[in-house]
């Protein structure tokens, strides 16, 4: 792989890895970086040179990472240009791990699927029972259902059931989803969207998150 191809590919598709390299190897705080300024300006079989700008300074800076000095867990040697790809991948994994992050960044929100349909139907029934149970009782198609003893108990306890589900979903967000989205560096707007969906869908959101980050 030529140096031009490596530079073009990394600058276009893997800027997150470049930021991680600076955070770990150059000890530059990501919050201080102008992210769009981070780019590779030189690469060969000895080193990688990254140019960047800090928010507090107008002049550009550069940082050289020498392959022999670049810590990573796989100990990939670079002897020729063809070895650089594997080295960059190993470095990206190492730098993300050192910061407590995954190597990927999750920036999208996956909408509900058909699997969540019954869950939303349950919430509709719960809300109708809480605010106006007569609406369901008046539907001819549901007459045989609403007269069942089990349904009457369900109707009476709809508020408690809804609050219980909300509590469970808050627990899922607190103990799983929040940390998972932090690990994948999901932006605030998308995090809030995931939380909102999980308040109603529960574990379906967890399933989609895991699938999205495989």
Q: Is the pLDDT of residue 1 over 80?
A: no
Residues 66-71, mean pLDDT to the nearest whole number: 98
Q: Which two tokens stand for residue 50?
A: 């990254």
CA angle 84, 100, 68 (to 5 degrees): 30
Residues 179-207, mean pLDDT to the nearest whole number: 98
With H, G, I as helix, E, B as strand and everything else as coil, classify residue 52: strand
Cβ-based neighbours of 212, under 8 Å, separated by 6 or more: 106, 108, 110
Give the confidence band of 143 by pLDDT, cuts at 50, 70, 90.
confident
pLDDT at 141: 81
Could you tell me the residue ranges of all domains in the chain? 3-98, 114-212
The side-by-side arrangement of strands in the sheet containing 39-43 is 39-43, 47-52, 61-66
pLDDT, tens digit, 9 for 90 and up, residues 6-53:
999 999 999 999 999 999 999 999 999 999 999 999 999 999 999 999
Specify the pTM.
0.87
Look at the block and give the residue holding tokens 């993300």.
Answer: 96
pLDDT at 146: 84
* CATH of segment(s) 3-98: 3.20.180.10
Left (φ > 0), alpha (ψ -120 to 50) or beta: where does 75 sit?
A: left
Residues 73-82, mean pLDDT to the nearest whole number: 97
Per-residue CA distances from 6 to 48, 64, 162 (Å): 10, 16, 53
Q: Is the pLDDT of residue 65 over 80?
A: yes
């Amino acid at each position: 792989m030529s140096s031009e191809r490596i530079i073009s590919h990394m600058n276009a598709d893997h800027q997150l890895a470049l930021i991680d390299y600076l955070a770990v190897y150059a000890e530059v705080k990501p919050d201080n970086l102008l992210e769009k300024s981070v780019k590779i300006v030189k690469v060969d079989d000895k080193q990688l040179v990254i140019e960047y700008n800090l928010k507090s300074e107008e002049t550009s800076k550069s940082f050289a990472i020498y392959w022999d000095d670049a810590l990573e867990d796989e100990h990939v040697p670079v002897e020729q240009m063809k070895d650089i790809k594997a080295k960059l991948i190993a470095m990206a994994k190492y730098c993300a791990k050192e910061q407590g992050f995954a190597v990927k960044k999750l920036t999208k929100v996956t909408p509900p699927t058909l699997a969540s349909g019954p869950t939303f139907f349950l919430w509709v029934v719960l809300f109708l029972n809480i605010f106006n149970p007569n609406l369901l009782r008046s539907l001819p198609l549901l007459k045989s259902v609403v007269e069942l003893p089990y349904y009457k108990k369900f109707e009476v306890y709809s508020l408690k059931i809804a609050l219980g589900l909300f509590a469970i979903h808050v627990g899922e967000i607190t103990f799983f989803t929040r940390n998972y989205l932090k690990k994948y560096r999901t932006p605030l707007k998308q995090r809030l969207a995931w939380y909102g969906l999980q308040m109603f869908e529960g574990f379906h959101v967890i399933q989609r998150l895991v699938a999205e980050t495989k």
